[in-house]
Amino acid sequence: MAKILTLTLNPALDLTVRLARLEPGAVNRSEAMLTHAAGKGVNVAQVLADLGHDVSVGGFLGEANPQAFDALISRRGFGDAFVRVPGETRSNIKIAEQDGRVTDINAPGPLVSEEAQHALLDKVAMIGAQFDAVVVAGSLPRGVSPQWFQGLLQQLKGLGLKVALDTSGEALRTGLQAGPWLVKPNTEELAEALDYATDAISQLHQQGVEHVVVSDGAAGVTWYRPGTALHATPPKVTVASTVGAGDSLLAGMLHGLLSDEAAEQTLRRATAIAAMAVTQIGFGISDDAQLAHLESGVDVRTLTEQ
């Protein structure tokens, strides 16, 4: 299996509140409340570990409240490449209703100094060559500019790593200019980053992006490679929470690509892993038999050439 580094520059403690229905302005009583060490790269790492890969996690982590992350790293056997910074890792509140709707309240995260940014670049330079691929996922914390972020991606590419990017907004717009190996936006994120260009996919291929994986919720996933495209429609499932579905999809795509699996099987399994993610609160592959059942319900078809 592959050796993979995930970088989460703005991780979070996810506090997920389950309730029947959110009534704004009223007293709401929860059915359950769960706390997870999270952030997009951390979520991807957990699924990759379940798929058998050797995973290290890094980014910026608040010194004041590292306990949940330290426990996850220890329990999962992850390599620890986090740079500790003053302050607290942010807490994000996820309100998950019975019909699958999720309301997010995301905090901004700590202020990351230039010194900490240099420290992460130094750490990446020291350990990067050990890995087959790197996932850079999530939002930028305060103090980190899109230009610095682009430089990080270019450094990772310079180390010979396959770079998988999953972010949004200005970070995505700037990050695409570095020509990562794989990007996984949703339809809205891609349209915003490329100003709703009609030739967005070919534009990305010209910039050096080999794999463009575009998610569109229940409508499915489209995977564009130069000259070809596949679309997968997921099976219908009961939704508990959509949090982590895109991260699970990305992990599944990396698994198939780095294992040299057939394209159809790669997309089928990745779509099934994402479908499994929405049936649960938390991250990872909890039931191999359920995953196999979901895989059998994924429809994969070839689209017209791009």
C-alpha dihedral, 67 to 72 to 44 to 282, nearest 10°: -90
Look-up: residue for tokens 């995973």?
55
> Is-catalytic flag, 247?
yes
User: How many residues are recorded in the chain?
Assistant: 306
- Cα separation, 286 vs 276, in Å, equals 9
Report the alpha-carbon distance of residue 123 to residue 16 in Å, rounded.
Answer: 32
54, 2 Cβ separation under 8 angstroms? yes
Give the whole-angstrom CA distance, residue 56 versus residue 211: 23
Among 247, 260, 287, 288, the active-site one is 247
Report the alpha-carbon distance of residue 260 to residue 266 in Å, rounded: 9
Closest to 139 in 3D by CA, of 179, 177, 112, 119: 112
The residues carrying an active-site annotation are: 247
